Amino acid sequence: MPKQVDHQERRETIARALWRVVEQRGAAQLTLREVAREAGISLGQLQHYFGTRAELLGFATDLAGEQSGRRAAEALAALGERPHPRAVLRAMLVELLPLRPDSRVTSRMSAAYVLEALHDEEVHARARGDLVRGREAVERVVRQAIADGLVAADRDPVVETDLLLALTGFTTLLELGVVGPDAALTAVDRHLDRLFAGEDRPGGEGRPGGR
């Protein structure tokens, strides 16, 4: 009997080969032929699953996003049943920064996808939609923290959300070695301290232990 091919598994294998190309050789080398070579298959076999570069990149980015979301969910679950919003925001921000091998892969995939989006309207729409939904998730936490009296009532939730997401700009500084992980995390913590400055947090409640 011929071996049954798990097409989803094959697609994910190809996507992970794309991750390696982006991480090790950069987005400039991101061609279907190069990904096929990395995956150990022919170009024709790859094109059986992905007809275009944009289609492959979109699938690989979605897969990376799913794994990032899973890691974020695990980090939030570890905070307990009713986590402090400061800890929730910190976990969300840390997952977006290239501080570990897995999050570094996701970060580089996102960068490659943004570059593609600048020149492809369909990719642009998808990438923008993903970013809008991510931003909305952060803003919901900020708004709830204000409503619960954990953040000063005169803070603008839109501006505070934008300022929090601006911290993801550390990605480039981290990747190029301008700042180290400890410095980036210190800046994140300092900003969160200022955001929640009006709250009484005895014993450092809401500050996740460790980095």
Secondary structure of residue 163 in the 3-state scheme: helix
Secondary structure of residue 133 in the 3-state scheme: helix
| For residue 77, pLDDT beyond 70 | yes
| For residue 23, pLDDT beyond 90 | no
Claim to verify: residue 8 and residue 101 sit in the same structural domain: no
**Alpha carbon distance, N-terminus to C-terminus of the chain:** 52
Claim to verify: residue 119 and residue 198 sit in the same structural domain: yes
| Total domains present in the chain | 2
pLDDT of residue 209: 41
Render pLDDT for 156-174 as a digit per residue (tens, 0 to 9): 999 999 999 999 999 999 9
pLDDT band of residue 199 (cuts 50, 70, 90) is: low
In sequence order, the 6+-apart residues with CB closer than 8 A to the CB of 141 are 85, 88, 89, 92
Could you give the CA distance from residue 48 to residue 33 in angstroms, rounded to a whole number?
Answer: 13
Domain contains 211: no
* Average pLDDT estimate for 5-20: 88
In sequence order, the 6+-apart residues with CB closer than 8 A to the CB of 21 are 29, 30, 34, 35, 38
Give me the CATH number covering residue 42: 1.10.10.60
pLDDT band of residue 24 (cuts 50, 70, 90) is: confident
| For residue 47, pLDDT beyond 80 | yes
Domain contains 115: yes
Domain contains 210: no
Claim to verify: residue 190 and residue 119 sit in the same structural domain: yes
Claim to verify: residue 140 and residue 46 sit in the same structural domain: no
Last residue of a domain, one of 36, 51, 66: 51
Closest residue by Cα to residue 68 from 107, 30, 27? 107
pLDDT of residue 167: 96
Claim to verify: residue 47 and residue 63 sit in the same structural domain: no
Could you give the CA distance from residue 34 to residue 10 in angstroms, rounded to a whole number?
Answer: 17
Better pLDDT: 74 or 27: 74
Whole-model pTM: value is: 0.80
Domain contains 139: yes
Claim to verify: residue 113 and residue 32 sit in the same structural domain: no
Domain, as residue range, for 46: 1-51
Among the listed ranges 21-30, 105-114, 127-136, 164-173, which one has the minimum average pLDDT value? 21-30
* Average pLDDT estimate for 109-122: 86
Claim to verify: residue 110 and residue 12 sit in the same structural domain: no
Give me the CATH number covering residue 79: 1.10.357.10
Domain contains 79: yes
| For residue 200, pLDDT beyond 50 | no
pLDDT of residue 5: 60
